[in-house]
């Protein structure tokens, strides 16, 4: 009797449009919703029409470092990019040969980030006290590191440490410098000019 009363009390809580839905259909619909949710979430990055890579690719030469001009309303290469940062970007392509990225990180707050074409930041190198201010990283395709070590016979440990395997042949190497005011513009540009990106022959 009590159970019947409880059921009576619950019925009004179910919206009218749901009353005609069978439990079986409801469960199936929820499972399908879950699958669609997962699929849509995973697919969005692949079909993003205005990813950072797409926005920047046309203006960046391959395997060359380019210093982007100061950010303002008339010159904003990426959304939500404020004027408090200066960027130098290399659109690397290691499909044919490794690419050497040389970077100067003179002050705290400076970083070098490596991104895939999907915007995944798979490697980041921050400036650190005591770290050499000028660093060279050799970007190589995935799986090439072991090949290099075999051919080199492991004799250049230092080189292998500076090698970075990139998950895809193309992507961005981004140097980010905090802009603490206009007075620092020349100093920051000088440091960014020391950065390089070039194909490593041989």
Partner 1 sequence: MIANVIMFLLIAIGGGLGSSWYMIERGSPLTTLAAGPWTAWTTAGRADADPYTRAHFIRRGMLPVSSALALTFEALSDSEGQRLHSSCEYAIEGEEPRVRFWSISVFNEHGTLIPNAAERYAYNSATLLRSPGGRLGVSLARTARPGNWLPTTGAGRISLVMTLEGDGTTAPAQDGWQPPTIRRVSCR
Alpha-carbon torsion 196, 75, 115, 169, what sign?
Answer: negative
CB of 162 to partner 1, least distance (A): 19
In angstroms, rounded to a whole number, what is the distance separating the alpha carbons of residues 93 and 80? 26
74 binds partner 1 (CB under 8 A): yes
Question: What ranges in the chain are assigned the alpha helix state H?
Answer: 2-10, 16-19, 23-47, 52-57, 144-152, 157-161, 185-193
Q: Kindly determine how many residues on this chain lie close enough to bind partner 1 according to the rule CB under 8 A.
A: 63
Question: What ranges in 11-76 are assigned the alpha helix state H?
Answer: 16-19, 23-47, 52-57
Single out the segment in contact with partner 1 by CB under 8 A; choices: 6-14, 138-146, 151-159, 179-187.
179-187
Q: How far is CA 90 from the centre of its chain?
A: 13
14 binds partner 1 (CB under 8 A): no
25 binds partner 1 (CB under 8 A): yes
One residue of 1, 3, 13, 50 binding partner 1 per CB under 8 A: 50
Chain positions contacting partner 1, by CB under 8 A: 17-18, 20-22, 25-26, 28-30, 32-37, 39-42, 44-45, 48, 50-52, 54-55, 71-74, 76, 78-84, 108-111, 113, 115, 118-124, 126-128, 172, 174, 176, 178-181
């Amino acid at each position: 009797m009590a159970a019947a009363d409880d059921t009576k009390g619950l019925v009004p809580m179910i919206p009218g449009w749901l009353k005609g839905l069978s439990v079986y259909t409801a469960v199936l619909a929820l499972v399908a919703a879950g699958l669609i949710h997962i699929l849509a979430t995973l697919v969005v990055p692949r079909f993003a029409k205005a990813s950072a890579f797409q926005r920047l690719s046309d203006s960046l030469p391959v395997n060359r470092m380019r210093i982007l001009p100061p950010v303002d309303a008339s010159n904003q290469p990426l959304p939500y990019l404020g004027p408090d940062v200066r960027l130098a970007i290399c659109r690397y392509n290691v499909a044919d040969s490794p690419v050497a990225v040389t970077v100067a990180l003179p002050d705290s707050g400076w970083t070098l980030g490596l991104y895939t074409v999907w915007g995944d930041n798979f490697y980041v190198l921050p400036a650190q006290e005591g770290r050499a201010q000028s660093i060279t990283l050799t970007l190589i395709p995935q799986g090439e590191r072991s090949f290099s070590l075999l051919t080199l016979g492991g004799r250049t440990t230092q080189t292998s440490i500076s090698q970075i395997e990139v998950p895809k042949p193309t992507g961005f190497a981004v140097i980010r410098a905090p802009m603490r005011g206009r007075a620092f513009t020349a100093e920051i540009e000088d440091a960014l000019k020391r950065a390089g990106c070039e194909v490593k022959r041989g």
